[in-house]
Amino acid sequence: MSTEPTRRPRPSTIQDVAREAGVSRAAVSKVIRNAYGVSDHMRAQVTAAIERLEYRPRVAARAMRGASFTLGFEIPQVGNDFLTMIVDGATEALADTPYQMIIAPLGRDQKGDVAINSLADRQVDGIVAISPRVDPAWLERVAERTPLVMIGRHDRSERYDTITGDDRSGAEQVMSHLLGLGHRRIVHLTIHPSRPEPPWAGQAGAEAHVVRTAVYRERMAVAGLEPQVVHTLFDGSEAHAATRTLLAAPERPTAVFAGNDTLAIGVLSAVAEAGLDARDVSVVGYDDVPIARHPLIGLTSVDQSGIELGREAVRLLLERLEGRTEAVRYEAEAVLRVRGSSGVLREG
Amino acid sequence: MSTEPTRRPRPSTIQDVAREAGVSRAAVSKVIRNAYGVSDHMRAQVTAAIERLEYRPRVAARAMRGASFTLGFEIPQVGNDFLTMIVDGATEALADTPYQMIIAPLGRDQKGDVAINSLADRQVDGIVAISPRVDPAWLERVAERTPLVMIGRHDRSERYDTITGDDRSGAEQVMSHLLGLGHRRIVHLTIHPSRPEPPWAGQAGAEAHVVRTAVYRERMAVAGLEPQVVHTLFDGSEAHAATRTLLAAPERPTAVFAGNDTLAIGVLSAVAEAGLDARDVSVVGYDDVPIARHPLIGLTSVDQSGIELGREAVRLLLERLEGRTEAVRYEAEAVLRVRGSSGVLREG
DNA sequence: GTGAAAGCGCTAACAT
DNA sequence: ATGTTAGCGCTTTCAC
């Protein structure tokens, strides 16, 4: 025979461990689950056998009967630094638990529900969803089966928990800041609304961006100013293009309030390319991503502590896994961080 | 009874679908796998039943017999823009396949092997590993079970595929650029080597960073200059601190070659804070992350096309899933993108 | 405290 | 072309 004799062709199973340790499969199962009813002696035997055989439980098999010890994160945009902060916070909160995190990114042209379904299909024990654009009714049905935390949307649900920043306060702070600096022509740049308008839209003005835009309109109205809202795609390149158009207009804005930092950074690049700076056009973002505080960027932004949101998401999920069933709403504080990208207009 | 009568408490299984469609379980299985031997009529029946019952196959159950249709990505640093580019490329390549991607990020203080194991435990059909710091011998054993592609390390393996940029050429271009600008005191900033030195270290100078550092030393030696290598952690904050120290030294460097863009951006922040710019200290990075081309950053960097690396990783994995067994090595071109962060010294 | 046996939902081999 | 059957590796009663 030409097959190598030494290599085990097959990873060891719980059966192998049981045989090796001279106990039953059930006994091994109890040991790896830290379940009740194992003698110290047996535990030692089994643990040794597990070591020797390099046994690792197959998660798929475990998931069929018990838990997968996996928490799934649905992330709409892998490169988004704000979402990264959330993941970092979650990672930290997961450190001393038996749970592993997996992230399901959105595929190209894919909606959040595909990724959320994919997590549910994989039998994760809990889901953190971040895509704002999924049907709440559908989400409730998912939450019937799998504990779920939704980050960034202000809707109220009986079945899943929600985590948000205080978007109203954050946007108020931005507007007070810009108006206080004397700006009058303030443009608001934000991601385009879902199109076609989903049937569940309007229901509670759920999305964070929608809240920010609403506050912008209110404050402009109160100040007796004409609002101008520009919609772009998620990524910064379109914000860049939109800003170029704005800057070329006869009456160019003196300030831009961007719906998030990714957009704001795109705005800044267009401003810089036009040879302008904060004394010509003030720019304010939202999320306070790490790069915002880079001295070459110096972006004024609203800190809603992504790290904390991620930590909290995990905490809520773990609570649910321990039995909580009533829905919880958590709101993080919003704090404006003023930096060089916003200021008073150049004189003359 | 107080239980709600209308809600199915249990998601439907293949059995339910079979019953509903009046066929066997195997028949349903064939339909969902697009397998050979189903009449059009039966397919229609089954598809309709699947719709009606909102049936979704449990991935865990499928994985136990067949495939999980899942590709796993082990990512050492979620916030790293270079890795994000890889994921984006992979997402694109996966768009028209039945495979779903999941990302396993490293937990706090966790090594890459934990995440890779976690993916293997979850029965993914293939793994893309990016952590450079895992034992190649161990990796080979993982690859015996699960098709594996390693990105960013130059080792040669019989069992897994490797994808790298041309780090030698990239580093050569950086050094030629800086030396050509007339710089003599060039410092190289890179991530610290594994400590303690792993037993498999030195074996082929596998890591990308190690190659870049080696080229730096060679070129400095050839130019008759004194090399100075500074090691930091992965994230930019330590690079920032290290740079402050460098700038405070009596003979401060006139150029810094950073091992990657994350570090380079940290360097830039320290340079800016010291009130200096490219005419005082040139900075060059590696990876050409998106923010590098932002006009306020303008970081000279080596483009090794992360997008392409990600696309290629998926391509190689899919090839293996279709039966390829010989290992493949793929090397992407490296191209220096010169921007404002590097230039000739200020006169006087 | 321990083990035997049933079964989770699915696919693959083998009937028919 | 379709149905039957035997598991995959694990957890969970439920006996002992």
- Which stretches in chain A have pLDDT values below 50? 1-8
Chain A residues inside the 8 Å CB shell of B122: 59-60, 68, 70, 102, 122
Residues B178-199: pLDDT tens digits?
A: 999 999 999 999 998 766 566 6
Single-letter amino acid code for the residue at B103 = I
Q: A217, A334, A79: which is closest to B77 by C-alpha?
A: A79
Of B59, B109, B297, the CB nearest to A121: B59
Residues A55-112: pLDDT tens digits?
A: 999 999 999 988 999 999 999 999 999 999 999 999 999 999 999 999 999 998 899 9
> Contacts for A7-14 with beta carbons within 8 Å, 24 or more apart?
A7/B144, A11/A54, A11/A55, A11/A56, A11/B145, A12/A53, A12/A54, A12/A55, A13/A55, A13/A58, A14/A55, A14/A57
Per-residue pLDDT at B158: 92
Q: B222, B280, B277, B232: which is closest to B258 by C-alpha?
A: B232
| Cα gap B260→B335, rounded to integer Å | 14
Per-residue pLDDT at A9: 57
Å from the B49 CA to the D2 C1': 17
Å from the A37 CA to the C1 C1': 6
Q: A149, A138, A282, A287: which is closest to A208 by C-alpha?
A: A287
Per-residue pLDDT at A178: 98
Cα torsion A265, A271, A277, A283: sign? negative
H/E element holding B214? helix B208-222
Per-residue pLDDT at B73: 98
Chain B residues inside the 8 Å CB shell of A146: none
Q: What is the pLDDT along chain B (348 residues), one digit of tens a residue?
A: 333 333 445 789 999 999 999 999 999 999 999 888 888 899 999 999 999 999 999 999 999 998 999 999 999 999 999 999 999 999 999 999 999 999 999 998 899 999 999 999 999 999 999 987 899 999 999 999 999 999 999 988 999 999 999 999 999 999 999 999 999 999 999 998 766 566 665 555 578 999 999 999 999 999 999 999 999 988 888 999 999 999 999 999 999 999 999 999 999 999 999 999 999 999 999 999 999 999 999 999 999 999 999 999 999 999 999 989 999 999 999 999 999 999 999 886
| Cα gap B306→B87, rounded to integer Å | 8
Q: How far is CA B331 from CA A255, A335, B157, B290, B309, in A?
A: 46, 46, 15, 21, 9
Which residue in B has a C-alpha nearest to residue A293's C-alpha?
B269
Are A103 and B107 inside 8 Å of each other by CB? no
Per-residue pLDDT at B8: 42
